[in-house]
Structures are given as structure tokens and as C-alpha cells.
Amino acid sequence: MSRPRTEAEYLARLAPPSVAGLRRRSLLAGTAGAGALLGTGLLAGCGSDSDSGSDSKAVSLGSNQSDPVPKGVIAKVMDGFKTSSGIQVAINTVDHNTFQENINNYLQGKPDDVFTWFSGYRMRFFAEKGLAGDVSDVWGKLSGFSDAFKTASTGDDGKQYLVPSSYYPWALFYRKSVWKQYGYQVPTTLDQLNTLGAQMKKDGLAPIAFADKDGWPAMGTFDILNLRINGYQFHVDLMAGKEAWTSDKVKKVFDTWNGLLPLHQPDALGRTWQEAAQSLQQKKSGMYLLGLFVAQQFSAAEQDDLDFFTFPEIDSTIGAKALDAPIDGYMLARKPKSEANAKKLLEYLGSTDAANITVKNDPSTLVANGKADVSGYTALQKKAAELVGSATEIAQFLDRDTRPDFASTVVIPALQQFLKNPKDVSGLLTSIENQKKSIFTS
């Protein structure tokens, strides 16, 4: 999963040493700073130390799964691969956010043979740039994946570049005990959601927990509103830069959001998602729109009390069947040291064996392979898998569906600006559109 989960992990992605290390040594600090920033191309990134090219029984894996549970799962899956194929995997684990921030340098340097990454624009981008290897022949040997997963693994040229491993849906999460206590019903339309929110306010709850200090959580709200109001195709086109942000359709998304803001926890810009999730856990909030990883903020005993529903319908002609469900998976480096071994590894990673190991060891994720034995799923996992299975269209999340430069340098400040001042939507959208034109034409 892609999000900072702990304070420590959040802090771990701090200033690069090139910037943080300068004290007053040089009067030319500004110059040196500029130089150091330029020098990021020279930063080592996160290359592998495990050179194993000559050994035909070895392959390397660059993993961003730095949290203890997923890290343990990866190790177990690799053990399984070694048992079945006799090939030793050198795992190069890098802190999740560091991995993400260094990905450009990493892929252009000497990446590991196989590396963890996401589907969506971020995958197609590297495929188009020639920084990832074609795995279409591996897909020929895989079974158990739905067409949705195959589409999500396909680049612009029609070839596959990703072997999906896991995914998680975004939905409105709530505590069963709280809803039972007050007698709340799951809303299926926007009006019902508003009524429910008003009732929760009367009952002294913050209806919808909300946090956007880190900039990305509000993208989830934008995504789901856009999917509900304008549908999947418009969302995809908007993300691809083909639709104008100044259109009435986008304006309607922000107007609807503005109408829902009073139901959201106030002062979201100073809150981390963990804090918002804890307000749900402490029964101070009624519901929370987030990914399945929200469950990490609940103790094992409370897992059964956690439930969710998909965001209600806004336009009956659009329905409520589309949702964000980001897919994580594995990709092949452009020039793997041992292509045969790397492909064997990818085939194993896409197999039911690997999926079964994951199911057994990690209760916070859903495996992508449909033939995997999912009897070990918790009730929450089962329901999440059903929700995604019944979805007509699956989006990947805003920062995976559009250019990373647009998402991080334009959309994040813009959404935060909207939350600060929800009144001036048209000015904001003009600003986004101007920047979008500049970025997408470059």
C-alpha cells in the first residue's frame, strides 16, 4: 500500500541530505543549494547493492514494502519462489516514500530486475519512456486475473507491463457499534447522506472525518465526487488533460463538495489521515472516506466493528458503481541482469501460490489473483473484494491516474486552496487550467 502509515515513516522522507546538510559553511549557500538540487540526478537513488548478474540462480527485487507486515509477506513469498524454482531472490527494500521519490533516478540507473510499482498513468508513463520491460509473455502464462486487472496492467502500446499483486478500495468506513447505537442506515443517495450527516451533527459526531495535511487524501474525495457526478470516462479524460478544468462539469464537482464541507471535520489542513482515522476509532466521527488501509488504525479486536459502504449515488444516470481501487504490482526493469529468472519470478508473483501466501500473512490487503484461496479473508476483506468485483469501472486514484508533476505541484495546492477558500471556485479552476495547459503541452 502506498501511504505513509506511521509518524516515523512520514518523517523518514524528509529533506534530502543535499539540502539539509548545509550549514553556514559557505557564503554561497544559495548557489550551492541550487547546485545540490540540480545534482539530484547524481544522487545515488536507491540502487541495488546486490550485484548478482553472473549467477544464473539469482534475481533481484526492488521492494518499496518497508512496513513490517508487508515486508514479512514479501520475504515469505520469495521463500516460496526459491522452493519452487531454486532461484535465490535478493530483496532490496527501500522506504516506501523514498522509493517513490527516487523512482526516476532508480529506473534510469541500475534498477533491480523486478521492482514494485503501481498501475495507472504512473506505470504507462515509465512503459512509454522505455524504462520498464514488456511482460506480455508472462501474462500469457498467468491465469485468474479479470479483464479489469489486465487492462490496468496494459501500456499505451497494448503490451502488458505490470503483474498485479494486490489492491484496495476507497469507501466510506464506519463503526458498526456507533451506527447501531444511533440507528443509522447506509445512505444510497446524496440527499440521504446529507440527512444522515445532519443527524450525526445533532448526535454530537463529526459526520465525515477529514484530513488533508499531506495533500493527497482530498484527492480521494475529488475522485469519488467526479466519478459520481460526471462518470468514469470524463474522469479519465480529465486526468489525461483532455477535458478542461474550467468546464461546468468540474465546477459542479466543487460546488457539490462545497455543499458537503459542513459535514466534514473542520480544519482538515492541519490533520494527518492517521489522526482523522483515530477520530473514527474513538467514535468522535461518524464515517471516513479512505482506503482499506484505514483498518491499520484499529486494534485487532476492533476490526470486526469496522464496516464500509461505497459513496452514494449523486446522479441516477451515472449510478454508484465506479470507485477508486488502486492496484499495486510488480514490473520488469528495462535491462534485467537475468531476464529469464526475472520473468520466472514475475510469473510466480502472479500465481495463486504467491497470492495464497499473501492472504495468509497480511489481513490488510486484497490479492489480485481471482483464483487465490480467499477463505482466510476477514469479513471486511471479503466485502471489499465483493465491492471491487461488482464495480463497473475502477479508477486508480488521482495521483496515479494523471501526470505526477501535475498531481503533486498543481492539484495538491489547488485542492488545499479550495479547502481554505471554497468560495472562489472559478478563479481556482482557471488557475488549474492554465497550469495544466503549460504542463501537458510540455
Partner 1 sequence: MSDLPLIQADRAVPSPAATTTSRGGRGRRLRLLSRTDRVVITLMVLVPLVLVVGLVWLPALATVALSGTDWDGIGPISEIDWVGGKNYSDVVEIYPPFVPAVQNNLLWLAALFAVATPIGMFLAVLLDKEIRGSRFYQTALYLPVVLSLALIGFVWQLIYSRDQGLLNAVLGGDTDWYGDPNVNIWAVLVAAGWRHVGYIMLLYLAGLKGVDPSLREAAAVDGASETSTFFRVVFPVMRPINIIVLVVTVIESLRAFDLVWVINKGRNGLELLSALVTQNVVGEASRIGFGSALATIMLVVSLVFITLYLTTVMREDRR
Query: What residue ranges bind partner 1 (CB under 8 A)?
Result: 7, 11-12, 14-16, 19-20, 22, 24, 26-41, 100-105, 108, 122, 129, 131, 213-215, 266-271, 275, 278-279, 404-405, 407-409, 412-414, 416-417, 420, 431, 434-435, 438-439, 442
Considering the complex, what minimum distance in angstroms separates the CB of residue 404 from partner 1?
Answer: 4
Nearest CB to partner 1, comparing residues 123 and 368: 123
- By DSSP bridging, strand 285-291 and strand 206-209 are parallel
Task: Report CA dihedral (218, 222, 224, 225) to the nearest 10 degrees.
Answer: 130
Collapsed DSSP state (helix, strand, coil) of residue 147: helix
Considering the complex, what minimum distance in angstroms separates the CB of residue 413 from partner 1?
Answer: 6
Nearest CB to partner 1, comparing residues 151 and 409: 409
Nearest CB to partner 1, comparing residues 236 and 412: 412
Per DSSP, which regions of 199-276 are E strands? 206-209
Considering the complex, what minimum distance in angstroms separates the CB of residue 417 from partner 1?
Answer: 7
Phi/psi zone of residue 120: left (φ > 0), alpha (ψ -120 to 50 degrees), beta?
left
Count the Cβ atoms, other than its own, within 10 Å of residue 95: 18
Nearest CB to partner 1, comparing residues 15 and 300: 15
Considering the complex, what minimum distance in angstroms separates the CB of residue 213 from partner 1?
Answer: 6
Considering the complex, what minimum distance in angstroms separates the CB of residue 229 from partner 1?
Answer: 25
What's the one-letter identity of residue 189? T
Burial of 415 (0-12, 13-18, 19+ CB in 10 A): buried
* DSSP string for residues in 315-378: -TTT-S--EE--EEEEEEESS-SSHHHHHHHHHHHTSHHHHHHHHHH-TT-EES-TTS--TT--
Burial of 248 (0-12, 13-18, 19+ CB in 10 A): exposed
Considering the complex, what minimum distance in angstroms separates the CB of residue 49 from partner 1?
Answer: 22
Look at residues 108, 112, 15, 26 and name the one whose alpha carbon lies nearest to residue 345: 112
Q: Enter the C-alpha cell of residue 165.
A: 499483486
Considering the complex, what minimum distance in angstroms separates the CB of residue 209 from partner 1?
Answer: 10
Count the Cβ atoms, other than its own, within 10 Å of residue 178: 19
Considering the complex, what minimum distance in angstroms separates the CB of residue 414 from partner 1?
Answer: 8
Phi/psi zone of residue 267: left (φ > 0), alpha (ψ -120 to 50 degrees), beta?
left
Considering the complex, what minimum distance in angstroms separates the CB of residue 270 from partner 1?
Answer: 2
Non-local CB neighbours of 253 within 8 Å, separated by 6+ positions:
222, 225, 226, 229, 230
Nearest CB to partner 1, comparing residues 32 and 374: 32
Considering the complex, what minimum distance in angstroms separates the CB of residue 176 from partner 1?
Answer: 23
Nearest CB to partner 1, comparing residues 3 and 228: 3
Phi/psi zone of residue 213: left (φ > 0), alpha (ψ -120 to 50 degrees), beta?
alpha
Nearest CB to partner 1, comparing residues 78 and 414: 414
Nearest CB to partner 1, comparing residues 26 and 188: 26
Nearest CB to partner 1, comparing residues 35 and 389: 35
Nearest CB to partner 1, comparing residues 132 and 263: 132
Greatest alpha-carbon pair distance for the chain in Å reads 69
